[in-house]
């Protein structure tokens, strides 16, 4: 039995991930922006605990980390929360996973939701543009968080870190016409969070699509680009990544 945190788990992929893990006998802490986001409160009966907080705000994200830390050290954190467009794309998709990672007691495993659209990101930017967050595309935000996941695999060897492309699935973000299944969309996160590490290859630093390792955008694998992203996040948030 593992202690697991899933962010953005009130609906869609996050909810499917959280309920599948709970059904497997694990202690799952569900994160949601607020209580009103949970459409069926009966789902909370399956959860070990719940934490609320708006990940578009740094202070609330730090508070989510504090409350989660008070529950215990997590075996795995699934950074699922995300938005597709608007001024909060960079804050939720990139900054929040960094703040949670840099603030919480390091988990044994960290899984970051990327997207196939990260291949359309612009590495020429070298780092997030925090002065104009509304100009950051979804693809850019996912390129940055993929680079973050792979940077952590290199810099924090005691935390196994992976990025996952869940595919285009029928969620609130993906829309009802999405061609792939919700089941396929969350299976990889569940597997990476709970499987015997001997069955995961690469053991850390993988970019995954439906339990198969894939090649990410070349920039995401470049240590120089990874470090530029991490450095920019540290300066922007004022929170250093633990050595």
Beta-bridge mates of residue 120? none
Q: Which of 52, 142, 207, 209 does the annotation list as catalytic?
A: 142
Contact in structure between 145 and 94 (CB atoms under 8 Å): yes
Helix (H) or strand (E) holding 230: helix 223-237
Total residues belonging to the chain: 243
Name the packing angle between helices 12-23 and 182-194 (round to 10°): 50
Contact in structure between 76 and 107 (CB atoms under 8 Å): yes
Asked if 207 is an active-site residue, the reply is: no
3-state helix, strand, coil in the chain (%, to 5): 45, 15, 40
Q: Which of 48, 138, 207, 209 does the annotation list as catalytic?
A: 138
* C-alpha to C-alpha distance for 243 and 237, rounded to whole angstroms: 17
Asked if 52 is an active-site residue, the reply is: no
Please list the active-site residues: 138, 142
């Amino acid at each position: 039995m593992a202690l697991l945190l899933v962010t953005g788990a009130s609906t869609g992929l996050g909810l499917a991930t959280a309920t599948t893990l709970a059904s497997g006998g694990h202690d799952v802490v569900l994160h949601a922006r607020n209580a009103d986001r949970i459409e069926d409160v009966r789902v909370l009966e399956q959860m070990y605990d719940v934490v609320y907080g708006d990940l578009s705000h740094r202070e609330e994200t730090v508070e989510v980390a504090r409350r989660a830390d008070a529950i215990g050290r997590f075996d795995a954190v699934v950074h699922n929360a995300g938005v597709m467009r608007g001024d909060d794309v960079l804050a939720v998709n990139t900054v929040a996973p960094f703040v949670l990672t840099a603030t919480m007691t390091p988990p044994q495993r960290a899984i970051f939701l990327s997207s196939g659209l990260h291949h359309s990101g612009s590495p020429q930017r070298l780092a997030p543009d925090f002065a104009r967050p509304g100009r950051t595309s979804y693809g850019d935000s996912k390129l940055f968080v993929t680079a973050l996941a792979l940077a952590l695999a290199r810099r924090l060897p005691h935390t196994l870190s992976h990025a996952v492309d869940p595919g285009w699935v029928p969620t609130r973000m993906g829309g009802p016409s999405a061609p792939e299944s919700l089941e396929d969309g969350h299976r990889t996160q569940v597997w990476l969070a709970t499987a015997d590490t001997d069955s995961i290859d690469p053991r850390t630093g993988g970019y995954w699509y439906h339990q198969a390792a894939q090649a990410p955008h070349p920039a995401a694998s470049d240590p120089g680009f990874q470090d530029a992203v991490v450095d920019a996040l540290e300066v922007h948030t004022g929170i250093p990544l633990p050595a």
